[in-house]
């Protein structure tokens, strides 16, 4: 996967405000302890350490995949500083002296973040220098420094510099007539000290390493050199007549938050475009990475000119920004990567007798289809659903939400095709999706140009729900078909993210979705739905009601239990509800990829709660909810994580799953995730995540994702859709 595609869930607004008031599930119960919450920022850093665990794991993870996890770690940390740390610094600068839910003041949290980041950077450098780089070299893949190049390779790099690099470089000197240049966020730069041989005076200059060229230049098969090394070797050509005294790489991370006051903006699209332009300049720095052998006086100059605190400076061995290791994903060495995997068409959508694509509308008249990506192909299910609707003369309308999509999206193309064919097309585009704002603005304008109705959701709320609806004219009247998902309509990330989706023609569900689309595009005040929970009005209250029901079931001796899978668990009201459930004896299983502020295993508070995390070749991204409901499980999937932003400031949807086979499939997924024989990380009451990859005798445990690849590909078109269970041997 490319940079930025291992989404961390950070790319959204800073969120530390209190949740909406929710009544206590047990008003007469003892007061919950004040130290019951883990800090969310430190919990996120713990998540990124789990990504480092994958880079460390030579027993289970192929070598080039381990290098990719180092790159993912680096990109994740960049985003964390651009969004979370930037927001924390804003609070400190504004004098907001309100403690976080963990009880720490913002300055204390910032200090702990910086300390923990140094530890993580040190470990990342150690893994790269002592493990991955030498192991790559043994396999004939070398990342070299200039002095390690062969004479013929240096000659080729000299030619490349003259022809392709030198023309795009812009050296910027600093003197009374040349102010210190603006350093763009995340760019790699060379800090150069030059000396005038005539006067002996020294002068600082900055050279930006261009991002239009590969970060690691290929010398020959399996041999690479960092671009900045090639530039550094040729600095004398940039500063002719001057003596280059020293050069060092550095990198600045800036606040990349986007702030648009929607209530005051006559046109949200125009206002956001202006704000994106402002993002490019004037953003304060939140982190400075410099080469660890930098001249102290030069470092002092950078700190002063960038107006950054010394405690926010990180001295690192070269090369900086190991996100550049993403370039190694193109190396053609299959034995050093995960085995090739081709998603299969869901058996209920596959044509058995012919090679032509299945008629999805005919299939959905027979049954709902529960999809599990990437194991079930996105292209032959969700993408095909929209493309068939665009091409079908009986389809009258298509309504679609878009939060993030790919640069060459077939979804966009299909919507344009439908509009040009005379169909009514509504696209609800979230142009405030962080870091995708510019792309989404471009899609919005393109769709409008081709006759689509484009709306930008609701003032004050982000539209994060994943919905598509088709209205079709059939012999027995109009029929609606719909897709509800947990992931974005992005064909590229659908091959790398684990997500769930429901394709359905159920009239109750499609009526709910139709009314929700009217709510998004019109002025209706709809808040009540039969098969959906919709935020900001209904998700938290709906989940709290179900938690309360499980407490009642436990007390009455009926089957009770709660299983939740999310990317992040932060919302205090939900966490307290789960604590109350645990105190009542309800078993609670939480499957959390990233942030978790709940402390499991605390006597008298959470001894009935287990928290596990699973990371692997696919990004675990689905959100699933399971309640025992006295023996008739209530199950749902949707777009919402359990955070304030999702429950209070977004339009989110959770849809109930009622087909018994689908309920069983989701039940089996939870059972596999919490099986003692499955690889995972276990959270303890102190916030430590403990990896579990082998049993007590050192035998490897089952990798859930690899198991699902094998299990799903064994399915046949007429086989049951539920996930096969595993026997005692793990097969």
Structure tokens at 559: 């089957």
Our measurement of the distance from residue 119's CA atom to the centroid of its chain's CA atoms, rounded to an integer in Å, reads 23
- 695 closest CA partner among 708, 683, 680: 680
CB atoms within 10 A of CB 710: 12
d(CA 12, CA 131): 34
CB atoms within 10 A of CB 112: 16
Which three-class secondary structure state does DSSP give residue 480?
Answer: strand
- 485 closest CA partner among 471, 473, 503: 503
d(CA 22, CA 12): 24
CB atoms within 10 A of CB 130: 10
Pair 456, 429: CB distance under 8 Å: yes
d(CA 513, CA 286): 42
CB atoms within 10 A of CB 310: 9
Asked if 346 is an active-site residue, the reply is no
- 220 closest CA partner among 150, 323, 133, 161: 150
The sign of the CA dihedral 179, 180, 185, 188 is positive
Catalytic residue among 464, 621, 644, 662: 464
- In 169-304 the beta strands, taken as DSSP E runs, fall at 172-174, 188-195, 202-208, 216-220, 223-226, 243-254, 285-291
CB atoms within 10 A of CB 24: 14
Angle between helices 63-80 and 40-56 (to 10 degrees): 160
CA atoms within 13 A on the CB side of 147: 0
Which phi and psi (to 5°) does residue 467 adopt? Answer: -135, 145
| Cis preceding-peptide flag for 585 (omega within 30 of 0) | no
For residue 189, what are the CA distances in angstroms to 211, 281, 321, 424, 614? 11, 17, 11, 50, 37
Q: Which residues are catalytic?
A: 464
């Amino acid at each position: 996967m490319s940079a930025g595609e291992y989404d961390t869930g950070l790319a959204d607004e800073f969120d530390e405000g209190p949740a909406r008031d929710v009544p206590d599930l047990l008003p007469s119960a003892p007061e919950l302890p004040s130290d019951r919450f883990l800090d969310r920022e430190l919990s996120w850093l713990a998540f990124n350490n789990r990504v480092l665990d994958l880079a460390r794991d030579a027993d289970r993870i192929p070598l080039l995949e381990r290098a990719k996890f180092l790159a993912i770690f680096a990109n994740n940390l960049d985003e964390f500083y651009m969004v979370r740390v930037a927001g924390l610094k804003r609070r400190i600068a504004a004098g907001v002296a309100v403690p976080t839910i963990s009880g720490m003041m913002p300055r204390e949290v910032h200090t702990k973040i910086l300390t923990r980041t140094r530890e993580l950077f040190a470990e990342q450098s150690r893994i790269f220098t002592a493990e991955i780089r030498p192991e790559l070299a043994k396999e004939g893949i070398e990342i070299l420094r200039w002095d390690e190049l062969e004479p013929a390779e240096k000659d080729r790099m000299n030619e490349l510099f003259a022809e392709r690099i030198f023309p795009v470089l812009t050296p910027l000197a600093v003197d009374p007539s040349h102010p210190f240049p603006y350093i763009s966020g995340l760019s790699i730069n060379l800090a150069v000290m030059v000396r005038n041989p005539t006067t002996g005076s020294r002068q600082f200059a900055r050279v930006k390493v261009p991002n239009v060229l590969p970060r690691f230049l290929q010398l020959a098969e399996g041999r690479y050199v960092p671009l900045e090394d090639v530039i550094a070797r040729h600095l004398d050509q940039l500063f002719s007549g001057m003596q280059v005294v020293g050069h060092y790489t550095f990198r600045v991370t800036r606040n990349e938050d986007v702030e648009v006051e929607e209530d005051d903006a006559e046109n949200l699209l125009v206002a956001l475009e202006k704000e994106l332009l402002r993002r490019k300049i004037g953003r304060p720095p939140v982190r400075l990475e410099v080469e660890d052998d930098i001249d102290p006086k030069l470092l002092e100059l950078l700190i002063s000119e960038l107006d950054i605190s010394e405690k926010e400076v990180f001295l690192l061995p070269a090369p900086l920004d190991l996100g550049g290791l993403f370039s190694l994903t193109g190396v053609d060495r299959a034995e050093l990567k995960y085995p090739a995997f081709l998603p299969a068409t869901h058996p209920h959508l596959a044509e058995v007798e012919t090679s032509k694509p299945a008629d999805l509308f005919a299939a959905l008249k027979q049954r709902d289809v529960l999809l599990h990506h990437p194991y079930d192909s996105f292209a032959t299910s969700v993408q095909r659903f929209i493309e068939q609707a665009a091409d079908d003369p009986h389809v009258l309308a298509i309504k679609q939400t878009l939060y993030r999509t790919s640069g060459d999206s077939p979804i966009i193309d299909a919507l344009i095709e439908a509009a040009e064919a005379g169909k009514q097309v509504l696209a609800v585009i979230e142009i405030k999706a962080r870091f995708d704002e510019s792309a989404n603005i471009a899609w919005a304008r393109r769709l409008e140009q081709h006759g689509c109705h484009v709306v930008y959701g609701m003032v004050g709320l982000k539209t994060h729900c994943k919905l598509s609806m088709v209205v079709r004219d059939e012999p027995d009247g109009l029929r609606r078909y719909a897709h509800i998902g947990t992931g974005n309509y992005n064909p590229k990330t659908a091959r790398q993210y684990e997500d769930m989706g429901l394709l359905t023609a159920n009239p109750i569900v499609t009526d709910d979705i139709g009314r929700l689309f009217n709510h998004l595009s019109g002025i209706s005040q709809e808040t009540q739905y039969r098969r959906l929970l919709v935020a900001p009005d209904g998700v938290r209250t709906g989940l709290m009601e179900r938690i309360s029901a499980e407490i009642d079931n436990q007390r009455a001796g009926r089957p009770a239990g709660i299983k939740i899978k999310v990317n992040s668990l932060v919302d205090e009201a939900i966490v307290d509800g789960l604590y109350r459930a645990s105190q009542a004896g309800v078993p609670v299983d939480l499957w959390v990829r990233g942030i978790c502020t709940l402390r499991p295993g605390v006597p008298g508070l959470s001894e009935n709660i287990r928290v596990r995390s699973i990371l692997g070749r696919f990004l675990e991204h689905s959100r699933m909810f399971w309640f025992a409901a006295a023996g008739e499980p209530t199950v749902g999937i949707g777009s919402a994580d359990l955070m304030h932003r999702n429950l209070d400031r977004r339009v989110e949807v959770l849809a109930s799953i009622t087909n018994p086979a689908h309920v069983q499939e989701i039940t089996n997924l939870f059972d596999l995730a919490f099986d003692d024989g499955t690889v995972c990380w276990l959270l303890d009451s102190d916030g430590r995540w403990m990896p579990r990859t082998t049993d007590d005798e050192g035998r490897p445990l089952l990798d859930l994702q690899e198991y699902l690849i094998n299990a799903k590909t064994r399915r046949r078109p007429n086989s049951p859709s539920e996930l096969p269970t595993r026997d005692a041997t793990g097969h």
